[in-house]
A and B are shown apart, each in its own frame.
Chain A
Amino acid sequence: MDETLHPDDLLLTRYLDDELPPSERASVKDRLSADPDFAGRLEGLRIAALAVQQYGARQEVESVHAAMMANRKKQAPVVGMRVRWVRWTAVAAAVLLVVIGTLWYQGVGRVTAENLYASSFVDYQVNASRGESELTPVAGAYHRSEFKEVIAQASTAGSLQPEDSLLVGLAYLKLDQPQRASFWFAALLRSIRFRPDAQFYLALARLREKRYDEALRLLRQINSEPGHLYHEAVDGKLIEGVEQLRE
């Protein structure tokens, strides 16, 4: 490194660092206005100082990032288990509903799309275990059962996460608009994480639309996969009921 600083650089560094007495500072300001080369030297020093600040900010964020990611990876299995617990209790509730629904329509004797739908529907549970403030606006509205608000929030969101799309479809089902619901569920069939939910709810939406062939195809698919999240909710009685409606 060159051992001597140009006198102008020394002066400008002191100006930059606010180390000049007022009279000298005023004199430098005057010269900056009149001398473009001098002003260019100051700009260069300012840019170098800015480089230091931006580098420092990056180092600091990277340090916090590493700590937060390490912490997150430690917690991940617990969070995953919590989500699975919520989903499995939802499925257990579905099994109970199916049992009750089956007993009910056996007692009534007449199969309709509406009573099959009502007896088979599983209410999706939004995971609000970390507090509602942690939910997206769409999920928050769904959690509060404000289904029109779900749709309003979705329409103004920049982009929707897959779960939000599922909730929009469910909101349309709740609002008795199965055609619109089908649109949202069909789009989620390619989602790895929400495909099982999309298949199940699309089947129910098709049932409501009286598109029995499509409903049957999906229900048989779910029923044929023992590991499917909704396998327990789709039993022979439901499939038989839809087959009857088709005839």
Chain B
Amino acid sequence: MAIRTESLSDAELIEALKGARTADAALRQLYRHHYDGLERYVLANKGSAADAEDIFQEALVALVNLVRSGRFRGESSLRTLLHALNRNLWLNELKRRGRAQAREERYESVHEKVTEAAHFALEQREVSGTLRSLLEELGAACREILLGFYYENQSIREILGRLPYENEQVVRNKKGKCLKKLEALVRGDDRLFQQLKNFLHG
């Protein structure tokens, strides 16, 4: 009896990753198929299990953002992209710790051309703590509205259904003010502002 595989193809994974509501299954498949191999890479290159977890998560965040922004449309396999992101993030971390060996440096200079995707992943990692702090500083009410609208692509009506506002116009006004407040916070951090600007303009 033939066993039907439940694995999504790369094209299906990319489509699923684009939507906040459909990404969960895609992310889980990427973990199942790639985590062990990429963990072994970090462990074989002076990393710990905790390092491997951290780096893989970061690579996946970068991959999701690249897919959703249209920067990655399947030009190479997801495996190739994920492995390259993971490898670059780890090599950069080793350099940061001052532990990159000559072998890794030679490898990087001879075999590896750091791609735009890898640059994005590195910049994103640098500012991730700041991004988290600023969104927390924004407050729960603004976070709910902005995540609902700009991340989950919910309509104003759907957001109104979840939150205690009088009508859609009130939600719309609140959304505008929250976005402006967030803009001011982001502008207050040069590194984060520049990282986002670089990503926006490719």
Contact = CB atoms under 8 A, between A and B. Distances in A.
Do A and B truly interact? Answer: yes
A128 interface: no
Contacts of B20: 56, 60
Interface stretch (A26-34, A157-165, A169-177, A239-247): A157-165
Nearest to A161: B40
A3 B177 CA distance: 7
Nearest to B54: A65
A72 B36 CA distance: 10
Range, interface on chain B:
35 or more
B80 to A, nearest CB: 10
Contacts of A55: 131-132, 135, 147, 151
Contacts of B192: 51
Nearest to A56: B151
Interface string B16-50: 00001001100110011101110011001100000
A58 interface: yes
Given A52-B151, A52-B182, A43 B175 contact: no
Contacts of B68: 53, 57
Contact of A61 (B27, B107, B132, B149): B27
B41 A68 contact: no
Interface stretch (A5-13, A201-209, A217-225): A5-13
Nearest to A5: B176
Contacts, number: 134
Given A48-B182, A52-B151, A69 B53 contact: yes
B72 interface: no
A51 B23 contact: no
Interface residues of A, number: 41
Interface in A42-68: 43-58, 60-62, 64-65, 67-68
A223 B24 CA distance: 51
Contacts of B23: 60
Nearest to B183: A48
Interface in B153-202: 173, 175-183, 186-187, 192-193, 196-197, 199-200
A136 interface: yes
B57 A65 contact: yes
B44 A2 contact: no
Nearest to A41: B183
Contact of A51 (B61, B83, B112, B134): B134
Contacts of A52: 135, 146-147, 150-151, 182
Contact of B199 (A10, A45, A48, A50): A50
Contacts of B41: 159, 161
B60 interface: yes
A56 B135 CA distance: 10
B64 A49 contact: no
Contacts of B107: 158-159
A53 B37 contact: no
Contact of A65 (B53, B111, B151): B53
Contacts of A158: 83, 87, 107, 111-112
A1 interface: yes
A13 B171 CA distance: 13
16 contacts: A13-B176, A17-B149, A47-B183, A47-B200, A48-B180, A48-B186, A50-B200, A52-B182, A54-B199, A64-B24, A65-B53, A65-B57, A68-B31, A72-B35, A134-B33, A158-B83
Given A51-B182, A65-B56, 13 more contacts: A2-B181, A3-B177, A13-B175, A47-B183, A47-B193, A47-B197, A49-B150, A49-B179, A50-B200, A51-B196, A54-B65, A57-B65, A72-B35
